[in-house]
A and B are shown apart, each in its own frame.
Chain A
Amino acid sequence: MDRQVIIKRLNEVFRDVFDDANIVVDAQTTADDIEDWDSIEHINLISAVESEFKIRFTMGEVSGMKNVGEMIEIIEQRA
């Protein structure tokens, strides 16, 4: 899947989950950049990304992801 398409779709998921139409994510975005991104919302976010791209992250991937860029790389490989 094309990287630009992934980012565009990912951006929609972020906007839904955090209920903020102004969010713009890129590869460098981390939890620190989005106010409501805490450990509880993280669960919901991961789950929403999984169903958007019809993939499953492994447990190691979920705990290892440092920023949106790493998430995009995993999606690129799987979706």
Chain B
Amino acid sequence: MDVLNYPFDNGYILKKRKSIKREILSDGTDRIKKKIAVLGGSTTSDIVSVLELFLLNEGIEPEFYECEYAQYWQDVMFENPELLKFSPDIVYIHTSSRNITEKISVKQSACEIEQKLNEQYRHFEVMWDKIKALFGAVIIQNNFELPYYRLLGNKDASDIHGLTNFICRLNMKLYGYSERNENFFINDINYLSASYGLDKWSEPKWWYMYKYCLCLDAVPELCFNISNIIKSIMGKNKKAFALDLDNTLWGGVVGDDGVDGIVIGKETAEAEAYYEFQEYIRAHRDIGVLLTVASKNDEENALAGLNHPDGALKPEDFISVKANWEPKNINIQNIADEIGLLPESFVFVDDNPAEREIVSAQLGVKAPRIGQVDSYIKTLDKNGFFEVTSISMDDLKRNEMYETNAKRNRQKSMFESYEDYLLSLEMNAVIRDFEPVDIQRITQLTNKSNQFNLTTKRFTLSQMEELYKSSGYIRLCGRLTDKFGDNGIVSVVIGKINGESLDIILWLMSCRVLKRDMEYAMLDTLVKNAAQRGIKKLKGYYYPTAKNKMVRTLYSDFGFEKIYEDSEKNTVWSLDINGYGEKNKVITVKE
């Protein structure tokens, strides 16, 4: 819903939240259900109701537990039975500088202040450890905003006796915990309050009157920030940019003004603004975001513009450049098909509101209102489309992998048969049980795969860790390498042992290795492992969604027999593994 896209109107969201909620829910789509405990050190009621809107808008349906006023610590430490019963997937701890209980003063020694700092930190650390032990839940913890007054003036920041100094050091300790604990995320209210305006954010009357640690008007900003963290953990980040060129990546129209006439570089204020924007876009490659172009231009002109000597971006930075006179929604759909992504994984950046309108209406693609060139970066950045919650090696290598994919597609046309082509790729797979280093990538893949995914079952990191420790499952992850490079872990299969049969609760594969027979290699290994465990029968499940049509015949292609179908077309399949013949003929498999 556009009213929930940044830049949004805080007052409008707060006032209209009930009718906004009704409108979001009226679309009738299926959403991922998550249980979220909101544990506050101050009032949280409006935070819960606004956070709900942003999450619903991202396809997540939250069920909330809210602690009694300011009972965040007691609820955890004394194991409130209601909280235990609720058993959250995510715990959000809404604390602020109002919850700092240690008092420091200029009369104390460095040693005493150090001790207070450690005690204040320990107060939180014991709680996080306890949450981890009780629920294994994801923890989202506010850091601390700067104080709204400075007893020592400027020295408040630089002197250990200053509260500002104390808060900064306390925050550093929080970040240390976050580095050591994978399921722990900081909600950076220190940044948010600065960006919003600390004086307004911390306006004390909200505390005196309602025990709010921030002003009501800032609540949507806070909630949007939290929802970005959650959607990123759930694998709902965007993956690619589709960029317009004229008046988006440079000033002017290259087809009319010529390469020499476009505005980019360092010579004028406007040129510098476009240059910094190009640098900002280019930096996204490093965090695994794919860059593509959808522009109404002759291709020759588009490339000439991208080759401008004063630009930061070059044609080779893009996975795909579509410069032609087709409607942009068609071009983006084509780019998506080409690189194996869904259109909704794109963020469309265009200065022209009419183009944004058609692309977002036709494809459901986010097309932010970016305004003038000097606000492009701010608008995209605050939208948090690519919120980083973990940096995996796969993210860093994603551009490379998609580039080699494009190369493979070009090779395809040179072979007699498809099997010849597959053999020429010299594919090697390692298919084996999970190992601890894989769990993060496996969870990420599980939560973002929509198309080649038979059950679309999602797991949090801690659920996956749990499953990894259990002996009641056969787990396989497959890594595929070919002569062009390593594709990383691309397929995950999990079967639950049920006497002499194996229930395949998860079967998925990354679309970047479609039509490579990797699914056959996975099945071969699954059958082998199952036989070793004394299993006689495999049971497969297919639950149709709007996105996984491509695998509706997978089990029948495998030779399974359909044994059940309900009114919603959910199907159950069975395969007797006695007499199974290996299906993969093109991949060399190691275990």
Contact = CB atoms under 8 A, between A and B. Distances in A.
A13 interface: yes
B546 interface: no
Interface in A33-79: 40, 43-44, 47-48, 51, 59, 62-63
B367 to A, nearest CB: 27
Contacts of A48: 11, 14-15
A51 B216 CA distance: 12
B576 interface: no
Contacts of A18: 18
Interface residues of B, number: 16
B19 A59 contact: no
Contact of A40 (B22, B45, B208): B45
Interface in B17-67: 18-19, 22, 45-46
Chain B at the A interface: SS class:
helix
B44 to A, nearest CB: 10
B209 A47 contact: no
Size class of the A contact interface (CB-based, 8 Å): 10 to 19
A47 B19 contact: no
Given A59-B208, A62-B209, A51 B11 contact: yes
B546 to A, nearest CB: 30
A59 B14 CA distance: 21
B107 interface: no
A43 B46 CA distance: 9
Contacts of B217: 47, 51
Nearest to B10: A51
A18 B15 CA distance: 9
B205 interface: yes
A47 B208 contact: no
B15 A13 contact: yes
B410 interface: no
Nearest to A17: B15
Contacts of A51: 11, 15, 217
A1 to B, nearest CB: 20
A63 B45 contact: no
B210 interface: yes
Interface string B271-304: 0000000000000000000000000000000000
A19 interface: yes
A40 B210 CA distance: 9
Contacts of A63: 209
Contact of B216 (A19, A44, A59, A62): A44
B45 A16 contact: no
B15 A44 contact: yes
Interface string A1-31: 0000000000001001111000000000000
Interface of B: 11, 14-16, 18-19, 22, 45-46, 205, 208-210, 212, 216-217
24 contacts: A13-B15, A16-B15, A16-B16, A18-B18, A19-B18, A40-B45, A40-B46, A43-B46, A43-B209, A43-B210, A43-B212, A44-B216, A47-B11, A47-B14, A47-B217, A48-B11, A48-B14, A48-B15, A51-B11, A51-B15, A51-B217, A59-B205, A59-B208, A63-B209
Given A18-B18, A47-B217, A51-B11, 16 more contacts: A16-B15, A16-B16, A17-B15, A19-B19, A19-B22, A40-B46, A43-B46, A43-B216, A44-B15, A44-B216, A47-B14, A47-B216, A48-B11, A48-B15, A51-B217, A63-B209
Q: 7 closest Cβ contacts across the A-B interface?
A: A19-B18, A48-B15, A51-B11, A40-B45, A47-B216, A16-B15, A43-B210
Interface of A: 13, 16-19, 40, 43-44, 47-48, 51, 59, 62-63
